[in-house]
């Protein structure tokens, strides 16, 4: 298990969305495993682009939320903070309704950087977006 707090549950981390863009667009954490964090987001008027499809930026918000929170759950937050350095996303399928679910898994967990793979799927478990997030781990001031 990669998490700093070995007993962490999705309901423990949901408050991190309070008063953030994640709350505004309806992101919720749904599962946490030994080496992954999962969450979902509605595909509706809050996350659509003008053609009625899931906005690529909304997919990036889901990906960055999952990857950043996962990174924060690995570190000792009393000593360190984590901040996003770079996000990359390939949008491979359009979605008009329902929910998309993202799963963040580590590619690299180092002392000063983490790299996370985030795969977003639709309700039929078809791949919608592949994203990679690089996070810097900094000493807390």
Residues belonging to the active site:
64
CA–CA distance, 4 with 62 (Å, rounded to integer): 22
CA–CA distance, 74 with 93 (Å, rounded to integer): 31
Beta strand extents in 7-126 (DSSP E only): 28-32, 37-42, 80-91, 99-109, 113-121
| C-beta of residue 89 within 8 angstroms of C-beta of residue 129 | yes
| C-beta of residue 129 within 8 angstroms of C-beta of residue 122 | no
């Amino acid at each position: 298990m990669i998490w700093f707090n070995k007993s962490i549950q999705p309901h423990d981390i949901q408050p991190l969305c309070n008063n953030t863009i994640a709350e505004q667009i309806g992101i919720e954490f749904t599962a946490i495993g030994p080496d992954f964090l999962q969450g979902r987001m509605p595909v509706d008027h809050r996350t659509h682009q003008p053609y009625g499809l899931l906005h690529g930026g909304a997919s990036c918000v889901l990906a960055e939320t999952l990857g950043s929170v996962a990174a924060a759950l690995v570190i000792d937050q009393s000593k360190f903070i984590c901040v996003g350095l770079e996000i990359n996303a390939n949008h491979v399928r359009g979605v008009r309704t329902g929910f998309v679910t993202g799963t963040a898994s580590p590619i690299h967990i180092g002392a000063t950087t983490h790299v996370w793979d985030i795969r977003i799927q639709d309700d039929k478990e078809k791949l919608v977006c592949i994203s990679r997030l690089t996070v810097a781990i900094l000493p807390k001031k």
